[in-house]
Chains A and B, each alone.
Chain A
Amino acid sequence: MVEAIGLYKSFGSVEAVRGVSFSVSRGEIFGLLGPNGAGKTTTIRMITGLLRPDRGRAFIMGIDVHRDPIEARSHIGVVPEVSNPYVDLSVWDNLVLIGKLYCIPKETIIERGKSLLEELGLYDRRSSKAKTLSKGMRRRLLLAMALISDPEILFLDEPTSGLDVFSARKIRSMITGLRRNGKTIVLTTHNIDEAGMLCDRVAIINKGKIIAEGTPDDLRIRYGKYIEIKVLFDNSIDSSVLNEFRDHYNVTCDERWVTIICEKNELDEVLDKIMNIKHRLDLRIKDLHIESQSFEDIFVRIVRGE
């Protein structure tokens, strides 16, 4: 459905994107993750035909985006990261304008627009000017504008950036709903947990290059080799007792809490050592947590090249 082949883009002496390639299959949610300035938005702009790559090609449903941008864009809906609806037009007029740019018949615009606004909780505000909407509502309106053409593919650039928890949740639930309806979605985000939740597959981009690609679970297995063990003893312990851990593991002690970060295959050994300390000092364990690294931790490790 979406294919990027060796995309390169420079702005002056800055190489923003350096040979990005990936493909997205039908019905998949694909996340392009990366820190700010990693090249996510530039990549999306090249794939949606807004920017011409210096090298490389992009295809939407087999159509070369730069040879036939109008045909390629007629299959996609886009919510750019930094964008607004026309604030002096009403919610409804914004939708109608976009519908007309896709040459959708008037009756379809009315039918689809009504259903989208109801679904996104904006129907009661359809006559309000967009400038009276909150940031979250404007973002939902932009999503409705991207969906008015019922596109096969949706590009969402930082869809929940800057939104409050409730608006972000609404957008996320809309995105999962779209996947159920068979839409293909390409989203960029620097909210790693969001990507872990929503995406079937992710690519991590840094300094204009894709440095890791796979399902979130793949990446957890491949890069998430560390676990964190947190133990709460009934009495505080002297930190010198933990010296036997320090040569091998990352250990911190905060009064009664002891935190040890080790590799997964060392779990058994570390637990034995903890039990040793417990018996030696006649302590009782009041609480114990063993946690795999979060997707955010894994992302940080990948970006840092650890």
Chain B
Amino acid sequence: MVAGISDYLKKIWALSIKDMRLYYFKGPTIVMGVVMPMFLWLAFMIGSSPSIGSAVAMLLSISSFFAASSITPVILPWETRQKTLEMILARPITIELVLIGTCLASMLYGVFVSLVIIAIGIFLGVCAANIPVLIASILLSSICYSFMGLLFSAIPSDVPADAVLLSSVVRMPLIFISGVFVPINRLPILMRPLSYVSPLTYYADIINDLYIGRSTFSLGIDFLVLLLFTIILGIFTIETNRRTIIKRL
């Protein structure tokens, strides 16, 4: 049993390392995971003058979100096109292990980008009020967003741009309704219910709490809802991809 679990973990790690080596430096990953959130942030910064704490919190929220969800939409279409998917699925692994390996690589990308933003914040003299809570929120949200990204790759297309386009269509509006740039209580009343069903809302709320002491929900609620989103998205994503991945062969 222990040997079985250890073998599974080794296989997931091997798949994840492969994804890191192959996809971390691909154009779509860098554009959608690093450049896009940076420009969105800069666009908001021009014309407004938030405190450094607010600026770092905004950048951290959107960067974690975009980075962790930028690789997962690309991998399956890319591997379908490169004709490597069947080759890898014919090994003693399951579709679930491949998907978890992919999510792990994507999640670590989100964590890495977040750590860079945190380091920049520290360099500018801004630090989160509670480092363990910050680390826990980054880990949990990165898992959640990598599952969300993987959901976009469930369309059995071999064109990575299809999945990237779909993910952008969903991710961009979330930025504006999740309290990253505009606090939820200042959103039009009709839009507020939408913000409650966005997984970014709860992570942004934690980050705002830790960096500028402003929050809509308690930390407990933020973590609980983020955990629920992670579980639901995880199950839904794996099940959806499990059904469609065979169509890619």
A-side residues, CB < 8 A to B, are 45, 48, 50-51, 69-71, 73-74, 78, 80, 82-89, 93, 97-98, 100-103, 142, 145, 155
B18, B86, B246: the one contacting A83 at CB < 8 Å is B86
In the docked arrangement, what's the CA distance between A85 and B84, Å? 6
Q: Tell me whether A48 and B18 are in contact in the complex, defined as CB-CB below 8 angstroms, given that A83-B83, A84-B84, A101-B11 are known contacts.
A: no
Closest to A74 in B: B92
B contact residues around A103 at 8 Å (CB):
7, 10-11
State how many angstroms separate the Cβ of A145 from the closest Cβ of chain B. Answer: 8
B22, B86, B90, B94: the one contacting A88 at CB < 8 Å is B22
Q: Tell me whether A100 and B82 are in contact in the complex, defined as CB-CB below 8 angstroms, given that A50-B89, A70-B92, A84-B87 are known contacts.
A: no
Q: How many residues of B contact A (CB 8 A)?
A: 22
Q: Tell me whether A87 and B18 are in contact in the complex, defined as CB-CB below 8 angstroms, given that A51-B246, A80-B90 are known contacts.
A: no
Closest to B246 in A: A51
B92 touches A101 (CB 8 A): yes
Summed over the interface, the residue pairs from A and B with CB atoms below 8 Å come to a total of: 70
A-B contact pairs, 8 of them (CB 8 A): A70-B92, A78-B90, A80-B90, A82-B83, A83-B84, A101-B93, A103-B7, A103-B10
B contact residues around A84 at 8 Å (CB):
82-84, 87
In the docked arrangement, what's the CA distance between A85 and B79, Å? 10
A50 touches B86 (CB 8 A): yes
State how many angstroms separate the Cβ of B193 from the closest Cβ of chain A. Answer: 40
B contact residues around A98 at 8 Å (CB):
91
B contact residues around A51 at 8 Å (CB):
246, 249
In the docked arrangement, what's the CA distance between A213 and B87, Å? 29
Interface-centre pick from A51, A71, A78, A100 (highest chain B CB count, 10 A): A100
In the docked arrangement, what's the CA distance between A275 and B139, Å? 91
State how many angstroms separate the Cβ of A11 from the closest Cβ of chain B. Answer: 10
B84 touches A100 (CB 8 A): no
B22 touches A86 (CB 8 A): yes
A87 touches B246 (CB 8 A): no
B21, B83, B86, B91: the one contacting A101 at CB < 8 Å is B91
In the assembled complex, B14 has its CB within 8 A of some CB on chain A: yes
Q: Tell me whether A83 and B14 are in contact in the complex, defined as CB-CB below 8 angstroms, given that A70-B92, A102-B92 are known contacts.
A: no
In the docked arrangement, what's the CA distance between A102 and B91, Å? 7
6 additional A-B residue pairs with CB within 8 Å, beyond A84-B83, A86-B18, A101-B14: A51-B246, A70-B94, A80-B87, A83-B87, A87-B82, A88-B21
Q: Tell me whether A50 and B83 are in contact in the complex, defined as CB-CB below 8 angstroms, given that A100-B14, A103-B7, A103-B11 are known contacts.
A: no
Closest to A73 in B: B92
B249 touches A50 (CB 8 A): yes
